[in-house]
Amino acid sequence: MKGIWEQKFGATVTQWQRYDEQGFVIGVPSWVESDVLIHNDEHLLIEIKAHVSKGYTSEFYRLGQFYEQVTGIKPRFTVVSPFLLKSVLPIWISCGASQFAKSQKM
């Protein structure tokens, strides 16, 4: 995927890692990371997950807020998943996230 985006679309794809000293993202100090696609000055945090829960959604959103604090750039969010609970969908939408998943009832 990285090669396709970089060669065909001129995007930059990188893994962003930072130490969260305050524990903002997961509640305790720890290393946090995300894949970031940068194209035309737009930063897109991308996660590929087997399952997306409400808890993960809020963690991913806080990761985006932390990314903005560190870089000064507000990112967009995208998750690719074969399974996304319908109950999570409104949360994703309120975060301004894109999702590429098949929603499941629940």
The per-residue pLDDT for range 12-53, each reduced to its tens digit, is 889 999 999 999 999 999 999 999 999 999 999 988 888 888
Decide: 36 and 70 in contact? Cβ < 8 Å.
no
User: Above 60 in pLDDT, residue 104?
Assistant: no
Alpha helices by DSSP H, listed for 32-106, are: 54-71, 89-94
Hey, where are the domains in the chain?
2-104
Q: Say how far apart CA 88 and CA 58 lie, in whole Å.
A: 10
The residue-averaged pLDDT of 84-93 equals: 78
User: If you average pLDDT over every residue of the chain, what do you get?
Assistant: 85
Q: Which CATH architecture has domain 2-104?
A: 3-Layer(aba) Sandwich (3.40)
The residue-averaged pLDDT of 42-69 equals: 89
Query: How much is the pLDDT for 106?
Result: 47
The candidate with the shortest Cα–Cα distance to 57, out of 81, 30, 22, is 81
Query: How much is the pLDDT for 51?
Result: 80
Query: How much is the pLDDT for 57?
Result: 84
User: Above 50 in pLDDT, residue 60?
Assistant: yes
The residue-averaged pLDDT of 50-73 equals: 90
